[in-house]
Structure 1
Amino acid sequence: MSPVPPDGSPCPADVLVVEDDPIIAIDFEDRLFGFGVTSVRTVGSVRQALGAIANRPPDFALLDVELTRETSFAVAERLVALKIPFVFVTGYGAEARIPPEFAGRPRLQKPCSSDALEAALRTRGA
Structure 2
Amino acid sequence: MADANRILLVEDDVLIGMMLVDMFDALGLPEPAQATTNDEALAIIGAGSIDGALVDINLGDEKGWPIADALAARGIPFAFTSGGGDIIPAEHAHRRLVAKPFRISDIEAVLDEFSAGN
Unaligned ranges ≥5, structure 1: 1-8
* Equivalent of 1:27 in 19, 22, 27: 19
Counterparts of 2:4 and 2:110 in 1: how far apart (Å)? 11
Q: Deviations over 1:40-77 (max 9, x none)?
A: 11110000000011123311100000111101110011
Selected match of 1:120 from 105, 110, 113: 110
Structure 1-normalised TM-score?
Answer: 0.85
Q: Which runs of 4+ in 1 moved over 6 A?
A: none
Q: Which protein is bigger by CA-based radius of gyration?
A: 1
Q: Distance in 1 between matches of 2:109 and 2:3?
A: 10
Pair 1:105-2:95 in alignment: yes
In structure 1, the partner of 2:78 is 86
Q: Which runs of 5+ in 2 are unaligned?
A: none
Partner SS, residue 111 of structure 1: coil
Match of 2:35 in 1: 43
- Aligned letter for 1:43? A
Q: Identity across aligned pairs (percent)?
A: 31
Question: How many equivalent residue pairs?
Answer: 116
Letter in 1 for 2:51: D
Cα deviation for residue 32 of structure 1 reads: 1.2
Contact 1:11–1:35 (Cα < 8 Å) also in 2: no
